[in-house]
Copies of this chain bind each other. A is one copy, B any other.
Amino acid sequence: MDKRRMEVIIDGKVYTLAGEESEEYMQRVASYVNGKIQEMKKEPSYKKLNRDLQGILLALNISDDLYKTKEILKLAQEEYDKKDKTIYDMTQQLSNEKLQAETAKRLAEEYRHKINELQKRIIELETGAE
Contacts and interface: CB of A to CB of B under 8 A. Distances in A.
State the majority secondary structure of interface residues on A: helix
A112 interface: yes
A41 interface: no
Contacts of A47: none
A5 interface: no
A60 B84 CA distance: 36
A111 interface: yes
A126 B124 CA distance: 11
A119 B125 CA distance: 12
Interface of A: 8, 10-11, 13, 15, 17, 21, 25-26, 28-30, 32-33, 36, 51-56, 58-60, 62-67, 69-70, 72-73, 76-77, 79-80, 83-84, 86-87, 90-91, 93-94, 97-98, 100-101, 104-105, 107-108, 111-112, 114-115, 118-119, 121-122, 125-126
